[in-house]
Amino acid sequence: MSDVETGAGEELAAPTASAVLTHVVSSIVDAPEAVRVEGTPSKGRVKLQVTVGPGDLGRVIGRRGRTAQSIRTVVRAAATRDGVEVDVDFVDD
C-alpha cells in the first residue's frame, strides 16, 4: 500500500488528515503503491508532503491546479478532526 510517516520516524501528528490524503491521492494516480505521505510539524501546523510516482504529478495537480486545490480543501477539513491545521505539498519522485 502506501507509506504514512513523519520526517523523524515518530507517529504522525495528523492521522486522519494523512489517511484521507493518502486515500484520495492513491485513487487518482496510476501507481498507488508509489504514493508516500510525510508529515513534519512546522510553526503550529503540520506540513504534509505527498510524493507520487513518475508521471502522476500531473494527474494530482489537475488543470490549472484545481484538483490539487480540491484535495487541499478536503484534507484541511479532515484535519479539524485531528485538531491541527495542515499544509499540503505535492512532490514528483
Q: Is the pLDDT of residue 3 over 60?
A: no
Question: What pTM, to 2 d.p., does this model score?
Answer: 0.85
Buried-state track 32-43, b at ≥16 Cβ within 10 A, e below 16: bebbbbbbebee
Measured between alpha carbons, how far is 23 from 4 in angstroms, rounded to an integer?
A: 11
Q: At 5, phi and psi to the nearest 5? A: -150, 170
* CA-CA-CA-CA torsion sign (17, 89, 68, 28): negative
Q: Is the pLDDT of residue 47 over 60?
A: yes
CATH number at residue 61: 3.30.300.20
Question: pLDDT, tens digit, for every residue of 80-91?
Answer: 999 999 999 998
Mean pLDDT of 54-65: 94
Range of the domain at 58: 3-92
What per-residue confidence (pLDDT) applies to 85?
A: 95
Q: Is the pLDDT of residue 59 over 90?
A: yes
* Domain count along the chain: 1
Beta bridge partners of 86: 46
